[in-house]
Structure 1
Amino acid sequence: MPGDTIVNDYISCPKVIHSTGFGIKEDVDIIRTDEASSVVSRHFHRQITEPEDIDKIKMPVVTYDAQATRENFQTMESLFGDILPVKIVGIKGRWFAPWDELIRLWGVQEAMIDLIERPDMVNAVMHRFVDAYLAELDQWESLNLLTRNDDNTRVGSGAYGYTDELPGDAYNADHALPHNLWGCATAQIFSDVSPVMHWEFALQHEMRWLKRWGLTYYGCCEPLDRKIGILRRIPNLRKISASPWNNTDRLIHETGTDYVLSRKPNPAVLAEDSWRPQQARSDLAEFLEKAKGCHVEVIMKDISTVRYHPQRLWEWEKIAMTLAGENE
């Protein structure tokens, strides 16, 4: 199942980095439908209910263990050095989804109701949460922990980060900075929240993070076809998630050729009792036909099950590669 996979010509040795975190973690009950699967149902216990709970969110402290990194590097080099070079690699961007975290602490229904009933509290919590993310980013920068991601690093919820726009002119090869890298953001729980409220309670806060990076990616599973107008306020936006929940015609009309559409076909076709390759082909072919002339990448993701038939993935990959070649 090679697809467009690109393999490094070196072995990565990650820098040993520690963070104290944000001081608050989810408290959750889970229910399994398949003991062999990591996909579970969750019920979150609320930890943010009143304004004073905002102080539970702490500013993280980051430390870099250079000695442990060197020791790991030496061990890996002794094991692999005669086959492939070993390269010390730092943080290659971060999945930034504060609302994904908040609903685990706040409760989905409660958070959505508070958009209307307690908007000031919602904004205060988001501001504090983004403060914490930025505090961590500042330390990554000062400790020289970042590594470029304009390569075969997955960017956001999309595909690779290859681009000729990064690392940009202001680049020191010995000390990469956020503006030399891709960043991303998403607010998946806002699928049915209006564009006005999406801006007020999510995007205006996320902008503080997005503006720090060289180029950015926005979105994941949420439909964004009604929100391209507010996304255009992101000055360095290059890729937009095109999940199957979008109105395809409206999404393509609104984006045109201004952005890369990061298409995620519906993975449900892989989860049915019987595998229907003709349906998988039809779903993808219909989108690619409508998106002719646009910039498109295709990523099959969010796969909960293939009914223990991984061959479905292999066949889907061949279908996707064939269709991509036909639509070049």
Structure 2
Amino acid sequence: MPDKSSQGTNSTQGSNAGDGAPIGAGDRQLLRDLAKRVADVAALPIQAERVRLWQALNQRRPERAMVLAQTGNTLREADLQCEDPTCRGWEAALQAKLRRHELIHDDYPCTDHLDIGYVIDVGDYGVKEGRIYGEIEDFGAYKVDPVINSPEDFAKLRPRQISVDHETTNTRLERAAEILGDILQVRKRGETLCRNMLTRKLIHLRGYEQFYLDMYDNPEFLRQMMAFLRDETLREWEIYEDEGVFTANMGPDNIRGTGGLSYADPLAPPDSAGSVRMQDMICFGESQESIGVSPELFHEFVLQFQLPLMNRFAAVDYGCCEPMDGRYELLFENIPRLSSVSVHPWGDREEAAEKLADKCVFAYKPHPSPVELPEPDFDGAERELRQTLEIAKGCCVSVTMKADFVRADSVDRATRWCDMAQRVVAEAA
């Protein structure tokens, strides 16, 4: 799916095509039947045990490594039966919970919640970013066509228009609660990831190659761009705080940016009005685009601009798909509430284990290729996992497989990987 980091976005739960329209008896009954099945699954003892184990890991007293498979959406549009567009979104959410429980044998707990997303419209920076796609327009890989080509173009940038449609959000919440509120906890869900990805936004304006060249040819302009994006991101978080659309992200079903789940005791109480603030939440920082630069340049042009954002939060997760080789000391020196760091097989796992020890979650993401190949290599995937657990002995380890399971047998592959991973972590405990 195309990244929309600097384009205008519209964050919603399902389509708004059916908002306000009467919901048919067939859709209503189908949703209620699914909700009852979800409630039954959520009440199973295994769910509470999974929550307990994640809490132990995140409190740095792990009983074993925890396993998560981020499989993407394995449910096809053709599998949905509801007619109302909004109901189809709720149906998909409920079906996803059931399919995960039945087919994906990881440590993700099924909860008795149905989340209704806030309707949030985020505009652009005053310019329309350019993208050059391949054969299929607006799909797949693309090359950035920069729109900020010189320091003079900086004057084109504008603060984004950010608005929250509380009326539509509440209408959707009321509709869902009227149908399902006696079975599930129907709740509003706003921003939870709090992703501070300044370089992602930068390259969609300036271009990937130019980002690297600017470090040497135009460092002051690069700093100016990064400062603008820092301030814009902070303004976005402050708007969400003021509008009350932050959602506490230390619950039992919150996937953290580094991988794994963030469940823990709340790190700070909400204010007297019950609103969730930045200081009540975990945030996520990453800079995959700066993978090729030295720790010194990473600090000068990336990390120092993220710190005023990240250090407003209760805790910080850092790293997505980029290795942190040579950067651990910078993270510990500058982020006092560092909670989890992403680790990869293409990085130095020994350095990660030494630096993280039992201070932060060693959030390992195995290589996805062995399970994505036309002929999957589960033996190879098992060898890699065993080796990593041996290296990370004494660390607080989560294992998150982020694979693009889109083949016809994708769910079977995810099931097989989870079964293997659960067996391996149990033997290593």
Matched, 1:2 2:102: no
In structure 2, distance between residues paired with 1:161 and 1:153 = 6
The answer to whether the Cα contact below 8 Å between 2:120 and 2:163 also exists between their aligned partners in 1 is: yes
Residue type of the alignment partner of 1:26: E
Residue type of the alignment partner of 1:19: V
Q: Residue 179 of structure 1 aligns to a residue in which SS? A: helix
Superposed counterparts of 1:24-103, under 5 Å: 24-31=127-134, 40-103=140-203
Matched, 1:161 2:251: no
Q: Residue 300 of structure 1 aligns to a residue in which SS? A: strand
Residue equivalent to 1:183: 283
Residue equivalent to 1:327: 428
* Residue number among 293, 314, 321 corresponding to 2:415 in the alignment: 314
Matched, 1:143 2:246: no
In structure 1, distance between residues paired with 2:270 and 2:242 = 16
In structure 1, distance between residues paired with 2:338 and 2:249 = 16
| CA 1:39–1:266: 2 relative to 1, 3 Å | farther
Q: Residue 187 of structure 2 aligns to a residue in which SS? A: strand
The answer to whether the Cα contact below 8 Å between 1:61 and 1:136 also exists between their aligned partners in 2 is: no
Residue type of the alignment partner of 2:373: E
| CA 1:224–1:39: 2 relative to 1, 3 Å | farther
C-alpha displacement at 1:172, in angstroms? 4.0
Q: RMSD value over aligned CA atoms? A: 1.9
In structure 2, distance between residues paired with 1:59 and 1:176 = 24
The answer to whether the Cα contact below 8 Å between 2:133 and 2:139 also exists between their aligned partners in 1 is: no
Matched, 1:276 2:377: yes
Matched, 1:120 2:220: yes
* Residue number among 248, 256, 268 corresponding to 2:349 in the alignment: 248
In structure 2, distance between residues paired with 1:139 and 1:113 = 34
Residue type of the alignment partner of 1:14: G
Residue type of the alignment partner of 1:12: D
The answer to whether the Cα contact below 8 Å between 1:57 and 1:129 also exists between their aligned partners in 2 is: no
| CA 1:40–1:90: 2 relative to 1, 3 Å | closer
* Residue number among 117, 130, 133 corresponding to 1:14 in the alignment: 117
The answer to whether the Cα contact below 8 Å between 2:260 and 2:363 also exists between their aligned partners in 1 is: yes
* Aligned pairs, number: 322
Residue equivalent to 1:238: 339
| CA 1:162–1:59: 2 relative to 1, 3 Å | same
C-alpha displacement at 1:198, in angstroms? 0.2
Alignment deviations for residues 104-161 of structure 1 (CA, whole Å, 9 cap, x no partner)? 2222112111111111111110000111111111111111211100012112131211
In structure 2, distance between residues paired with 1:145 and 1:317 = 34
User: Which is further off, 119-128 or 56-65?
Assistant: 56-65
In structure 2, distance between residues paired with 1:2 and 1:25 = 43
| CA 1:308–1:226: 2 relative to 1, 3 Å | farther
Matched, 1:266 2:367: yes
| CA 1:314–1:170: 2 relative to 1, 3 Å | closer
In structure 1, distance between residues paired with 2:193 and 2:383 = 35
Higher relative contact order (CA closer than 8 Å, sequence separation 6+): 2
Residue type of the alignment partner of 1:24: V
Q: Residue 245 of structure 2 aligns to a residue in which SS? A: coil
Q: Residue 285 of structure 1 aligns to a residue in which SS? A: helix
Q: Residue 195 of structure 2 aligns to a residue in which SS? A: coil
Residue type of the alignment partner of 1:294: C
**Percentage of matched positions with identical amino acids:** 26
Q: Residue 299 of structure 1 aligns to a residue in which SS? A: strand
| CA 1:263–1:106: 2 relative to 1, 3 Å | same
Residue type of the alignment partner of 1:150: M
| CA 1:274–1:187: 2 relative to 1, 3 Å | same
In structure 1, distance between residues paired with 2:179 and 2:267 = 32
Residue type of the alignment partner of 1:115: M
| CA 1:319–1:55: 2 relative to 1, 3 Å | farther
The TM-score with structure 1 as length reference comes to 0.92
In structure 1, distance between residues paired with 2:117 and 2:375 = 41
Residue equivalent to 2:230: 130
| CA 1:63–1:98: 2 relative to 1, 3 Å | same
Residue type of the alignment partner of 1:249: E
In structure 1, distance between residues paired with 2:158 and 2:312 = 21
The answer to whether the Cα contact below 8 Å between 2:270 and 2:276 also exists between their aligned partners in 1 is: no
The answer to whether the Cα contact below 8 Å between 1:244 and 1:266 also exists between their aligned partners in 2 is: yes
Matched, 1:204 2:204: no
| CA 1:55–1:157: 2 relative to 1, 3 Å | farther
Residue type of the alignment partner of 2:254: T
Q: Residue 401 of structure 2 aligns to a residue in which SS? A: coil
Residue equivalent to 1:215: 315
Residue type of the alignment partner of 2:381: A
The answer to whether the Cα contact below 8 Å between 1:22 and 1:132 also exists between their aligned partners in 2 is: no
The answer to whether the Cα contact below 8 Å between 2:320 and 2:342 also exists between their aligned partners in 1 is: yes
